[in-house]
């Protein structure tokens, strides 16, 4: 009975948080809502990874969303521009002919992978540390390059979640954002903790 209650609490927690993420993303007309809503989502999942559950998800989500709306969208513009440039170049190289075009195509795929991992690391870094906008992007890029084990674990987890979503599409509405965010937060918070201990030991 206690286990059933625990599972029910987690299901409600996940569903409620995911619905908030979808709702606040739509409230910002998607393009202006996705960044602050995702940051608010990671602020919630960060709490869970720190074993903190007795807090108002609604209050934390709403306050984080409006507090970070302006700055997160400014950083979001940078990511949007870089992402569109990379996709454009990938598309162009894909229509070129010759051996060089193949190497160019593979090169842009590699850059897109690095870009995607930079974006993934950005959100947990944003809610855990207090950096300047430039440092958030820089540190996210560095993490994407040096945290190979964390990167592999994140990608494996996202693949499994994606596979689950394909097999059970009914879960999309209730977990498409929160499950990946929780998994990424779990891996990243462990990585942050390890690096912080290592840094403090040297200090």
Mind listing the pLDDT tens digit for each residue in 70-100?
999 999 999 999 999 999 999 988 888 777 8
Measured in residues, the chain has a length of 203
Overall domain count for the chain: 1
pTM here is: 0.93
Structure tokens of 99? 């051996």
Domain that holds residue 92: 2-202
- pLDDT tens digits, residue range 134-150? 999 999 999 988 888 99
């Amino acid at each position: 009975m206690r286990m059933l209650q625990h599972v029910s609490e987690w299901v409600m927690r996940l569903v409620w948080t995911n619905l908030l993420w979808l709702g606040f993303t739509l409230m910002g007309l998607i393009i202006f809502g996705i960044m602050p809503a995702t940051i608010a989502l990671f602020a919630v999942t960060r709490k869970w990874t720190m074993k903190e559950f007795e807090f108002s998800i609604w209050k934390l989500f709403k306050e984080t969303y409006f507090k970070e709306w302006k700055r997160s969208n400014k950083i979001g513009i940078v990511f949007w521009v870089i992402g569109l440039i990379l996709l454009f170049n990938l598309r162009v190289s894909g229509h070129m002919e010759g051996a060089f075009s193949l190497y160019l195509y593979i090169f842009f795929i590699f850059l897109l992978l690095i870009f995607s991992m930079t974006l993934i690391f950005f959100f947990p870094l944003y809610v855990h540390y207090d950096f300047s906008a430039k440092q958030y992007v820089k540190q996210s890029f560095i993490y994407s390059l040096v945290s190979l084990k964390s990167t592999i674990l994140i990608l494996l987890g996202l693949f499994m979640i994606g596979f689950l979503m394909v097999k059970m599409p009914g879960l999309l509405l209730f977990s498409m954002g929160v499950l990946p965010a929780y998994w990424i937060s779990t891996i990243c918070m462990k990585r942050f903790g390890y690096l912080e201990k290592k840094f403090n030991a040297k200090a």
